[in-house]
Structure 1
Amino acid sequence: MYSPRFLFRLAGLLLLGQALLAGVALAQQLPAPRDTSFTVHSAFRYIQKTYPEARIARPAMPATIRAQTNVTYCTLGVRNLQLDIFYPKAKTKKGYPAVLFIHGGGWRSGDRSQHVPMAQQLAAKGYVTVTAEYRLSTEALYPAAVHDLKAAIRWLRANAKQYPIDTTKIAVWGFSAGGQLAALVGTTNGDKQFEGDACNTSHSSSVQAIVDVDGVLAFIHPESREGDDSKSLSAGTQWFGASTATKPELWQQASSLNHVTAHTPPILFINSSVDWMHAGREDMLKKLDTFRIYHEVHTLPNTPHTFPLFTPWFATTLDYTTAFLSKVFKR
């Protein structure tokens, strides 16, 4: 027989073990500490000397739109993934096309607020726009970010009546790492290995248009510099959790160039003059031509990689985006 004191201590140890396990699980689900290495202000400081005319784009929110912020679109354990949504005040029976904005920052930094100005201005032109957070590499490795963004698209369809959204016209727009993700999300329509298994899974995550703003199309490519770990671990290596040498199949899988088919939606490329930031673009254009998929390419001369965040290039980016979406959605 065990003494009451022994049993009491044993019960205490079991409770302590359960608490520790719960703490580990909680830590795995909560957001990791933010990596603030990439912000609009740090990007602005970086380009100031070379582009003294540049200014941070801060247009006022148009009076013709509504906004809802910090909306949870998917819950993973105790982790709430959130988005901000902007939509016209004017009512419509058919619904408005929707656009999901994806921020950059090397899959590790940045945040959704960086494209709120662009999302607001596009909403004023007759779109429902969303800026969504996704799990960065400090919190979860590839393909978690892809799963999150596809869940955000499913959320748009699940909430189409409330905002309202034309579910046949959904586009994805991304800058830098967000551009890579936008192209990957769009070229993997219907591919179950990229879906994930959480949140509104009865709805489709397919998109009908892609806007890639200076995002890489192919990681293992002669034009790409991503994956160079000679001086320090690259952003890509930190995202995949493996180098190009140890797990090249992951890098290839995440390259949208490898997913182009006859079913790929129309795509718009808006690029800076920093060529390696859109590695694989020319090869993708050849594939798109083969399948007769509509595409546009606009390269802004003498521009920094971060051009869409600043004037005078913010307005140009917005204009190209609006014209492309109007054409493919026949508005």
Structure 2
Amino acid sequence: MLTFLSCLHIPCLQAQQQHKEWLTGIKDSSYSSHSDYIKNLKHYPFIQLVPDSSIEGVAESRNLVYASLGDRKLHIDAFLPGTTRNRPNPAILIIHGGGWRSGDRSQHIALAQHLAAKGFACFTVEYRLSTEAFFPAAVYDLKAAIRWLRAGADQFHIDTGKLSVLGFSAGGELAAFIGMTGGLEKFEGTQGNPGMSSKVNAVINIDGTLSFVHPEASETKHPEKIGASAWWLGYPRTERLDLWTAASPLSYADNNTVPFLFLNSAVQRMHAGRDDFKALMDKKGVAVQIIEFPNTPHSFCLYRPWFSKVVTDVTTFLHNIYAE
């Protein structure tokens, strides 16, 4: 497995000016849980979108600010187990999908609520999308959120030795990237709590790609296409393959030491690089579990009848890796 830690330099990450017209500064509302539901209902008429609904025993604090970039504030929501334990709770940072360009943190509030009811302190997080900033801005934001959680460990009663990151789709790719690049200075950013670590203890990747350049990646099969990946990276694949490689979590697999859980739909293109990653981790003795949900749409985690199993699978995985 070739890694790019030695050849990746900050200038290549900051030189994304060629296609600055893609930075519209206008919120992209093309993707939402509701629009996804309407689309999938045609093929899965039995699905039910799990609503944002307060659960007894779960304490909620919404619209907290975890970092500021000038006048731009980045927000996060907290969903905390209501039962006081003698020991702090394990924590999960939850990252929404939407092609790095659309969607928002409300997408996984229901998941946060149900996982909090299982004893996990959950946080749904906002990050800068590609209408506002190119890669690696979102990575900087999310690592700032992790540092913020560590700094607020006492306030939120969380165990910073049991801090995981969970993401769906683009959020799954970001979760994987964060897990594999913990402690790499070039991906830390400067906002918020610089004395705290941005490392996590586990990654849950729900249908997020591991590579933009793997043979199985849709971007490799359609290299001329200008879409979500190009808009996020600031360049088409044909112009800056080095950047597309540097933005792929799989490029940093040799650096990884944290357990991974993959929850995957029936959409094969979303699994690019997963099996290569597992083979490498098996050799290193790092735990990787793959659970597939047959005959499901990409966004299966948002819907019943699969939602309850997602909650169970995440809970079981984290209990197993944190077992004392």
TM value normalised by structure 1: 0.88
Alpha-carbon deviation of 1:60? 3.2
CA distance in 1, matches of 2:311, 2:193: 30
Distance 1:98 1:251 in 2: 31
After the TM superposition, which of the residue ranges 308-317 and 174-183 deviates more from structure 2?
A: 308-317
**What SS does the corresponding residue of 2:112 show, helix, strand or coil?**
helix
Match for residue 190 of structure 1?
183
Structure number with greater CO (CA < 8 Å, separation at least 6) is 2
Q: Find 1:99's aligned residue among 89, 92, 101.
A: 92
**Structure 2 gap ranges (5+):** 1-23
Aligned counterpart for 1:80 among listed residues 66, 73, 87:
73
Residue of structure 1 in register with 2:9 after alignment: none
- Measured against aligned partners, the alpha-carbon deviations of 1:58-91 in whole angstroms (never above 9, x if no partner) come to 2632211101000000011110000000111222
The answer to whether structure 1 residue 114 and structure 2 residue 107 are counterparts is yes
Alignment of 1:162-173 (within 5 A): 162-173=155-166
- Higher alpha-carbon Rg: 1
Query: 1-side partners of 2:256 and 2:87: how far apart?
Result: 25
The answer on 1:142 being equivalent to 2:135 is yes
Paired position in structure 1 for 2:290: 297
Contact (CA 8 Å) 2:223, 2:237: kept in 1 or not?
A: no
What is the alpha-carbon distance in structure 2 between the residues aligned to residue 235 and residue 136 of structure 1?
11
**How many residues end up aligned between the 2 structures?**
300
Deviation at 1:94, TM superposition (A): 2.5
Is contact 1:307–1:313 with CA below 8 Å preserved after alignment? yes
Alignment partner for residue 34 of structure 1, among 14, 21, 27? 27
Offset of residue 260 of structure 1: 1.6
What is the SS of the residue equivalent to 1:120?
Answer: helix
> C-alpha offsets along residues 231-284 of structure 1, whole Å, 9 cap, x if unaligned?
x52100000110122111211112111112364200000000000011111111
Distance 1:142 1:59 in 2: 30
1:56 alignment counterpart: 49
Q: What fraction of aligned residue pairs are identical, expressed as a percent?
A: 45
- Matched to 1:319, the amino acid is T
Matched, 1:270 2:263: yes
Kept after mapping to 1: 8 A contact 2:173/2:208:
yes
Whole-Å Cα distance in 2 between the matches of residues 278 and 251 of structure 1? Answer: 17
1:43 equivalenced with 2:25 (yes/no): no
* Distance apart, 1:320 and its partner CA: 0.7
1:32 CA drift (Å): 3.2
Give the SS at the match of 1:217: coil
Q: 2:204 aligns with which of 204, 211, 235?
A: 211
1:284 aligns with 2:277: yes
